[in-house]
Chain A
């Protein structure tokens, strides 16, 4: 049986998060006025997003992705390359390249398991030479986002379920697999593999990692 390394993305391999990606799209609306209004609304909402994320990742998703309502799919895809070049690539932690490299040398399949959007993750995954990735996907109707996510929504326990199914399908032994995340919401994802690692952890995950004697890594 083979093995894989599963990575969360935001905060784990890159400094940015979902809000940065959305802020980039907000800043690049058609028309200055629209850009200003959308950017301001995003900035004002940041404390609310933080509070919601602290409380529950699902609540955060419900509040956050609704902001995409009305965005054109073409436009989002158009902006993705630019988003990668200007925002995401400079935000990759220096240690991330090396971690992935060492992991690949071990013969592990490299898999991203992230709550970020597929549109934004593609170029980044290619750049990091990731073998496979699963992301959240916006629902589009007639080419425009509805503000809802298509199931399965990648967050918390869903990530762990997806990893189990993926491992079965790809004949991977989860006991030999590695998982990396920065957030307490990814505890299920870390718990299903034999080699969990907390990366740049928040205070809650740090405490949990110490309690479970998991390695704690700082890639920043």
Chain B
């Protein structure tokens, strides 16, 4: 009699769970909720699928005001702020723009809390030459209501528009050349910031690629200063953006930052927040679906039904009007590097999941928002940024997806652009991408034409448009993902031409996309889904 061979469990049968937030789908598992733009999908995932859930929110600081004051009085590697102030000084406060945090947080925004304390301190020390600059780099200018929401009515009324304004990277008189790094990278920075006796940068570090030297070197610079690192080669060499030590992008920015620190007196205030996007009626969106109560299920169904009856513009408006319930979990002040190092630890404590083993197929639901479309449309180029730029880079150690694996995105991929915010994206998408998707070719052949297009420059300076070069940066942003991922399939794409222009495949539904993925990577793939938002990142073994 032949001895029966031991049963081989195919597929991703566990195993020791790497982390409490890692869930494996079995026969009894509930369907999972996936964002698909402004809609919510409810899908049964194949048995064995690994789902990475965000960690529960770290408890926020009980008294953020006291924590901020403590940080200002006990800064790292520098004198307390009050000791650096003197009457008659010229001080500039720079703040992150509307791309941080995402979605915009419930008021009072952390920036408001910090600036209120700063202004009290400055006033008490006789400093009255104070400007507040939004460090928007080549992002769109924030509108007046957005700026008011960010800092509160009191500060807004006192400072806007003469002493509270957006950075202008195209103002020929507003930019100063500080010099070049030893690698010949130019550093051109906002004149007011450079000519101030003290620059105080107030940051909200949403993810580990934010903050540090990036705040001033990128937020207050011009196009020429961005070019050395916002380019395909640097992006390819970044493994990943979220792991600064292994990010070529970060290395170059640090060089620029070091030069800035030699010329300017910069006092950094960095804050970390938890991942409490949802609370109250929408809290179910960050829960494990297996743990839903009846009421959660009811709310989920009600929300899905309501969304299915609403026009897309109304759904978009609805989602953009729900602020995130973020709370500050840490604040440090002082010199750039020690401050940032501590904040990064808090970021990873909140987002990082211990994950073992790469996946053959990675499912990434794409929500309605990215850093570049607050109060606007997630256009096709931004869907690309979310998938290949951000989600692919949400790792430390090695990518969550195997080299050549399949990434499945859930998004309608509508051919819809905001004419006021993204005019250059439209030309980029419709004129350039059909010609080539080669980032190198795009950079060398077309980037400068767009960057210097007088219409785009004027729309950036006078309107609320992203800079003409920005769609290129968005395309480069997906470059390391594009080099790594074998195939991208968009599940639920409502048209064929958008995925085709992006170089992707489309499927009507998630099950169809998974079937297509199996034909590419084999019949029993290791499938992993990132259950976001809120953000979850893989800290790979």
Contacts and interface: CB of A to CB of B under 8 A. Distances in A.
B306 interface: no
A103 B430 contact: no
A42 interface: no
A105 B462 contact: no
Given A99-B454, A102-B452, A210-B419, A215 B459 contact: yes
A178 B455 contact: yes
A213 B426 contact: yes
B417 A217 contact: no
A102 B454 contact: yes
Contacts of B458: 95, 98-99, 102, 217, 219
B427 interface: yes
Interface string B450-481: 00111111110111010000000000000000
Interface in A164-191: 178, 180
B414 to A, nearest CB: 14
Nearest to B429: A213
Contact of B423 (A95, A106, A180, A215): A215
B429 to A, nearest CB: 9
- Chain B interface residue number, banded: 20 to 34
A27 interface: no
A215 B455 contact: yes
Contacts of A105: 452
Contact of A218 (B419, B426, B452, B462): B462
B420 interface: yes
Contacts of A99: 454-455, 458
B454 A178 contact: yes
Given A95-B462, A213-B426, A195 B417 contact: no
Contact of B452 (A95, A106, A217): A106
Contacts of B453: 195
A106 B427 CA distance: 19
A197 B462 contact: no
B452 to A, nearest CB: 6
Given A95-B462, A215-B459, A218-B463, A5 B419 contact: no
Contact of B454 (A106, A210, A216): A106
A107 B453 CA distance: 11
Interface string A130-164: 00000000000000000000000000000000000
Interface in A200-220: 209-210, 213, 215-219
Contact of B459 (A178, A180, A209, A217): A217
Given A213-B417, A216-B419, A5 B454 contact: yes
A132 B102 CA distance: 49
Contacts of A197: 455
Contacts of B461: 95, 98
Contacts of A213: 417, 419, 423, 426-427, 430
B428 to A, nearest CB: 11
A217 B419 contact: no
Interface string A90-104: 000001001100110
Nearest to B453: A195
A7 to B, nearest CB: 11
Contacts of B454: 5, 99, 102-103, 106, 178
Interface string B403-438: 000000000000001011001101100100000000
Nearest to B456: A215
B419 A219 contact: no
Contact of A217 (B424, B427, B430, B463): B463
A101 B430 CA distance: 28
A213 B379 CA distance: 13
A106 B450 CA distance: 11
Contacts of A216: 419-420, 423, 459
Contacts of A98: 458, 461
A216 B453 CA distance: 13
Interface string B389-410: 0000000000000000000000
Contacts of B462: 95, 217-219
A47 B424 CA distance: 38
Nearest to A103: B454
Given A95-B462, A215-B423, A216-B419, A195 B455 contact: yes
A98 B462 CA distance: 11
A201 to B, nearest CB: 11
B470 to A, nearest CB: 14
A87 to B, nearest CB: 24
Interface in A15-43: none
B198 to A, nearest CB: 31
A125 to B, nearest CB: 18
Nearest to B448: A106
Nearest to B171: A98
A213 B457 CA distance: 17
Contacts of A215: 419, 423-424, 427, 455-456, 459, 465
Nearest to A94: B462
Nearest to A220: B462
Q: Which of A95, A217, A219 is most buried by chain B, counting CB atoms within 10 A of its CB?
A: A217
A219 B461 CA distance: 10
A52 to B, nearest CB: 30
B289 to A, nearest CB: 40
Contacts of B417: 213
Contacts of A209: 419
A210 B423 CA distance: 10
Contacts of B423: 213, 215-216
B42 to A, nearest CB: 35
A102 B457 contact: yes
Contacts of A106: 452, 454
Nearest to A106: B452
Contacts of B457: 102
A130 to B, nearest CB: 15
B332 to A, nearest CB: 41
Interface of B: 417, 419-420, 423-424, 426-427, 430, 452-459, 461-463, 465
20 contacts: A95-B458, A99-B454, A99-B455, A102-B457, A105-B452, A180-B455, A197-B455, A213-B419, A213-B423, A213-B426, A213-B427, A215-B424, A215-B465, A216-B419, A216-B459, A217-B455, A217-B462, A218-B463, A219-B458, A219-B462
Interface of A: 5, 95, 98-99, 102-103, 105-106, 178, 180, 195, 197, 209-210, 213, 215-219
Given A99-B454, A215-B423, A216-B419, 16 more contacts: A102-B452, A102-B458, A103-B454, A178-B455, A180-B455, A213-B417, A213-B419, A215-B419, A215-B424, A215-B427, A215-B455, A215-B459, A216-B459, A217-B455, A218-B462, A218-B463
Q: Which 3 A-B pairs have the closest CB atoms?
A: A102-B454, A197-B455, A213-B426
